[in-house]
Structures are given as structure tokens and as C-alpha cells.
Amino acid sequence: MKVYFAGFSYALPKSHPALDWPVRELVSFWDQTRGTKKLDRVLSRPDVFLDSGAFSAWTRKVEIKLADYIDFVRRYKDRVSVYANLDVIGDAQATWDNQKEMEKNGLNPLPVFHSGKEDFSWLKKIADGYEYFGVGGVAGKDITVPQIIKHLDQIFGYLVDKKGQVRHKVHGFGITTLPIMLRYPFFSVDSTAWVLQGRFGGIFIQLDGRVLAVSVSDRSPDQKKVGKHYKTLSGLEQKVVEDIVNKNGFTMEQVAKDYQARDIINIRFFQELERTWKRVDFNPGIVQGSFF
């Protein structure tokens, strides 16, 4: 499973001495049109996923013109690994028409299906014609984790063969909930979970075979919650957290105060997840992969 770090250039706008390896990044076309990123530096990375940014634009009631997006993709397509279709939230036909128009212009965008927002027949249509496509509709304040599970169980249930093996490569757009990421055999995902956790004072760790988010900030309200903050863990558990922090080149004092230290630990956590992830057959109701 490939993990593309959404928001990376926002969180760490300059090169950090602790980041000496390639970082996969999701780049938004809509962000580029607002001049919020330095494109040349971002596109110097070896693995970049270009998204239209349609969801962000839609939430702000801004329209992205297909012709502008096509021109942008044509200009930079040789410097990105994947570029998504310009999807139209809530209009599957318009999304499909954009896909075909981009293809007529000699492009090969990643098709997009919106879970829970489009009729299932559109998923079948996409799956019949494409090996690799994206699933959106699993991010936003208006959708709950049980709803996401219901939609994705149905999607992956359709995509598997009789042996439980997924016949397609699926990209999960905006997967910010770690249990969702671990539940399904995604080929790739993009996520802001790494930075959201760090900015709220936490880091991701593995403890006794479990994946946990532990608060470490000295400003976190979790300091009074047993088992939620480093200070309320058992002595043995604190030692595990300290070892992880130290292994990443930081001290507990640093991660308690410096959000970028937490960012870096969380980036490395997801890169390790990517490196050690073992994909298994899909079986609704159980976590699909393992770190071991």
C-alpha cells in the first residue's frame, strides 16, 4: 500500500534535516491555482499524486474549469506518477464526461467513484473499464466511521473474486482514520492523519501488536485521561514510547513542545506501515493487513 502524504508541503515547507528520504506527496491542482505551494520543489519528488482538488473547491463553492485542469496536467504529467480525473461532486455523469474528455485529449486520468454519493452502477462501469481507480466520499464532517465501513464493505465486496482477492487497484482518497486504512486492501491512499495527529499533540506508535495514537504534548487536555497521554501510561508503556521517540532522533521534551518533531515521527510511522504492510484477502469485519 502506497501512502501519499497530503499537506506535506504545508506542514514542512522547508527541507528538514531529519527528512533525508523521498516522501510521497499528494498535490492539489486547486491549491496550485491559489499559489499556495512551490510547485517545482514539490514536483522534484520521485512519486507525486496529482489531485484536482475538486472536493476542496466544492466545499468553498468554487468551480474548477476542465480546460484549465487539462492544460495543467499536460504541462506537468511527466513529473507526476498519477493524476486523477476532475470529479464533479454529486454528479456521476459529469464526472464520467470529464474522464472521457480528458482521455480524448490524450490523457489517462485516474477515474473516481464517490462512495455513498453515486449509484453503484457507476462503480461497475468504472470497474469494467479500468484496473486502477479512486474511491472518494469517505472524508468530510457529514460522514461517520460506520457509514464509511458500510460503503467500503460494499465496494470491496463487489471488487473481489471468489477467492477474496481484489481484482483492481483502489486508491482511497482522504483516508484520515487509521482503522479504515488498515481494514481494506487499498493499493494506495492519501491521508492527512499524520499531520492532524501531530498538530493535536499526538504520535502514532505500535504497542503490543496494536496501533495506537498517544498524546505527548504538554498542552494536551489528554494529560488527565488514563491511557491516553504519555504521562498516564504505565512505566513499561512509557519506556516503549520513549524508545520510539529516541529512535527517531528526538527527546520527550522535544515532542512535548515541537509539532514538527511529531510530524516527522508520524511520517516515519506511515512509511514503516507502507514498508511492512502485508496485504491479505478481503473479508468484511476484520482488519485486512498486518505489520508482522
The residue ranges of every structural domain in the chain are 2-191, 201-263
Whole-angstrom Cα distance, residue 240 to residue 279?
A: 27
> What is the CATH code for 2-191?
3.20.20
Give the CA distances from residue 104 to residues 66, 70, 111, 126, in Å, rounded to whole numbers and listed in that order.
Answer: 13, 11, 14, 17
Question: Which candidate, 1, 2, 5, places its Cα nearest to that of 176?
Answer: 5
Angle at 8 between CA 7 and CA 9, to 5 degrees: 95
pTM: 0.89
The pLDDT score that the predictor gives to residue 224 is: 85
So what's the pLDDT on residue 66?
A: 97
Residue 134 CA from chain centroid, whole number: 12
Distance from C-alpha of 113 to C-alpha of 135, rounded to nearest angstrom: 5
pLDDT of residue 39: 74
How does pLDDT run along the chain (292 residues), one tens digit per residue? Answer: 899 998 887 676 555 655 656 788 999 998 887 766 667 777 777 789 999 998 888 888 888 999 999 999 999 999 999 999 999 988 999 999 999 999 999 999 999 999 877 899 999 999 999 999 999 877 766 778 888 888 899 999 899 887 778 889 999 998 888 888 888 889 999 999 999 999 999 999 887 777 889 999 999 988 888 888 999 999 999 999 999 999 999 999 999 999 999 999 999 899 888 888 776 667 765 555 544 3
Cβ proximity of 108 and 84 under 8 Å: no
Residue type, 223: Q
Spatial contact of 247 and 206, defined as CB atoms under 8 Å apart? no
Cα–Cα distance for residue pair 228/106, rounded to 1 Å: 52
Angle at 81 between CA 80 and CA 84, to 5 degrees: 85
pLDDT at 98: 98
pLDDT given for residue 58 in this prediction: 83
